Amino acid sequence: MYRLLLSFFFLLAISHLSAQETRKVIIDADTGNEVDDLYAIVRGLLEPSWEVIALNAAQWQPAHWAVAQTMEESYRLNQVLLGYLKLGGTVKSNRGATNRLFDWGNLAQPSMASYHLIQEAHKMEGDEKLTVVTLGALTNIASALLMDPSITSKIAIYWLGTTYDFEEDILRKRDFNCMMDPQALEEVLKSSVELHVIPVNVANKMTFNYAETEQKLRGKHGVLDFLVDRWYQHLDGGRYERTIWDLSIIEAVIHPEWVEEVKIMTTKENYSRPVYYYKDIDADKIRAAFFEIVLTHLGEK
Residues in the chain: 301
Q: Which helix (H) or strand (E) holds 211?
A: helix 210-217
Q: Is residue 110 part of a domain?
A: yes
pLDDT at 301: 52
- How many distinct structural domains can be found in the chain? 1
Q: Is residue 8 part of a domain?
A: no
Domain, as residue range, for 70: 22-298
Q: Is residue 184 part of a domain?
A: yes
Q: Is residue 113 part of a domain?
A: yes
Task: Note the Cα 153 to chain centre separation in Å.
Answer: 19
pLDDT at 21: 75
pLDDT at 300: 63
Beta strands 259-265 and 241-243, pairing class: unpaired
Q: Is residue 150 part of a domain?
A: yes
Q: What is the pLDDT along the chain (301 residues), one digit of tens a residue?
A: 544 443 444 344 434 434 447 999 999 999 999 999 999 999 999 999 999 999 999 999 999 989 999 999 999 999 999 999 999 999 999 999 999 999 999 999 999 999 999 999 999 999 999 999 999 999 999 999 999 999 999 999 999 999 999 999 999 999 999 999 999 999 999 999 999 999 999 999 999 999 999 999 999 999 999 999 999 888 877 789 999 999 999 999 999 999 999 999 999 999 999 999 999 999 999 999 999 999 999 986 5
pLDDT at 203: 98
Q: Is residue 145 part of a domain?
A: yes
In DSSP notation, 92-123 reads EEE---SSPPPSSSS-----HHHHHHHHHHTT
Q: Is residue 2 part of a domain?
A: no
Q: Is residue 181 part of a domain?
A: yes
Give the dihedral sign, CA 292/196/151/124.
positive
Q: What CATH number corresponds to the domain at position 130? A: 3.90.245.10
